[in-house]
Amino acid sequence: MTDPILEPFRRLIPPIGMVDISPIVAILVLQVVQSIIVETLRAMAL
């Protein structure tokens, strides 16, 4: 279920030892995208 989102990050970011940090990066990117969308919608509502 999460592979469509995580797979591009896994190709770009290699695991560090045995730790896969791609989910952390994906969450950060999704939060940035969410804040951009919210701010854009908020600005359009004014």
pLDDT-based confidence at 46, cuts 50/70/90? confident
Average pLDDT for residues 12-18, to the nearest whole number? 93
Q: How sure is the predictor about 25, in pLDDT bands with cuts at 50, 70 and 90?
A: very high
Q: Report how far residue 38's alpha carbon sits from residue 35's, in angstroms, rounded to the nearest whole number.
A: 5
The Cα 43–Cα 40 span in angstroms is 5
pLDDT at 6: 94
Question: What's the pTM?
Answer: 0.80
Kindly give the interhelix angle for 3-12 and 22-45, rounded to the nearest 10 degrees.
120
